[in-house]
Copies of this chain bind each other. A is one copy, B any other.
Amino acid sequence: MKKIAVLGYGTVGSGVVEVLETNKEAVAKKAGDEIEVKYVLDLKDFPGTPIEHKVVHDINIILDDPEIVVVVEVMGGVEPAYTFTKNALLKGKSVITSNKALVAAKGAELLEVARERNLNFLFEASVGGGIPIIRPLNSSLTADKVNEITGILNGTTNFILTKMASEGSDFASVLSEAQALGYAERDPSADVEGYDACRKIAILSSIAFGKNVNYENIYTEGITKITDKDFMYAKAMNKSIKLLASSKDDNGKVYAIVAPMMISPEHPLYNVNGVVNGINVNGNMLGDVMFIGAGAGKLPTASAVVTDVIDAIKHDGKNVACFWSKEELKLSDIQESVKRFFVRIADSVEKSSVEAVFGKVNVIEIMKGEYAFVTEPMSEAKYSECASKLDGIITRIRMDR
């Protein structure tokens, strides 16, 4: 019998208890031993629930109990999660977390602390919910050099964009609907401004490229400016608009970005719709490999956490390799990265003026008062320079393959 503690009895924490209970036998078989939740740390008491007698309010009870081999941190936020996690590792316990904020901010350090002590700090659930992506990056794609990781890493925004595409609705009304359905928070900024996806792509990039990517250095643009009119153009062009989180190694220069992008049906992520997440990894030998599934949700996320618990128990006394070093990966200036741009402009601007600045462009005319065009591939800096010469640009959306 292996004893574990769960820090935080919210959605994921209660899901972890449920997965361990529902799949008790299967989990014991995979772990090689039964797993028991001995403590649940929470501010509340949960009287009358099955975990009533496991609740503690003092982290030290857990840290000081030598029976506890694995601590599951599912509280969220950097503090006190960071202090609890680090202290658990220092006390010789492996730590599993679903906490992307913690992993993005402190992953490299906590991995090192675990490595030095032959413990494990595992975080499969921190990106893509139930989708196996961290472990495949660490142990399945080892023969490849990763050229690119691009993901739809936030289910809330993908739900919103999918609805806008299929129903022609505007952003605000779909956001309200998402909030009513529980897919979006009352304060939706972490999702709709791209901050959540930014932390997740920082984590994936750090593993794929082996060096620490500081999420604060990733150019991040949300979906709040995407309108129903943008989707009318997308539809007319047989394209879709997705919030992509992407990092690419372009001959040693790594560019990372989170932004809404217009993509074609040939794009691997084109058909990833609704609250689903999808992650495409391009390797120099493998080509494209894609992982799709529930990017959030109580049980899928808890399943990923329990997978890590099993792994930590199977690898008791042995650190499972994760090639994410503390050395900083210096991201290249996104201004140098090259792509095509979709641009909407008032029809008071002559097409000849546009072409005088941007060169030859494809023009799309589907509504009154404006038209749109698609540029040739150009750097972000060059685009900004060109755009500054024209009055009347309504919006621009980057294009991916």
Residue positions of A touching B, CB distance < 8 A: 19, 22-23, 26-27, 29-31, 124, 130-132, 135-136, 139-145, 210, 268, 271, 283-294, 297, 299-300, 302-307, 309-311, 314, 321, 323
Our pick among B139, B286, B311 for the contact of A135 (Cβ within 8 Å) is: B139
A291 contact set on B, CB distance < 8 A: 289-292
**How far is the CB of A96 from the nearest CB of chain B, in Å?**
11
Shortest distance between the CB of A205 and any CB in chain B (Å): 16
Q: Is the pair A284, B22 in contact by a Cβ cutoff of 8 Å?
A: yes
30 contacts between A and B (CB under 8 A): A19-B285, A23-B143, A23-B144, A26-B144, A26-B145, A30-B321, A130-B286, A130-B287, A131-B289, A132-B140, A135-B139, A139-B139, A140-B307, A141-B307, A142-B306, A142-B310, A143-B302, A143-B303, A143-B306, A268-B292, A285-B303, A286-B303, A286-B304, A287-B294, A288-B292, A289-B293, A289-B294, A290-B293, A291-B291, A292-B292
Residue among A19, A135, A292 with the highest chain B CB neighbour number at 10 A: A292
Cβ–Cβ < 8 Å partners of A26 in chain B = 142-145
Given A135-B140, A143-B303, 5 additional A-B pairs, CB 8 A: A30-B142, A142-B310, A285-B302, A286-B300, A288-B292
User: Closest 10 A-B residue pairs measured CB to CB?
Assistant: A132-B140, A143-B306, A289-B293, A285-B303, A30-B142, A290-B292, A271-B271, A130-B286, A285-B299, A143-B303
Given known pairs A23-B284, A283-B303, A286-B130, the reply for A29 and B140 (CB within 8 Å) is no
Instruction: Determine if A132 and B143 form an interchain contact, defined as CB atoms under 8 angstroms apart.
Output: no
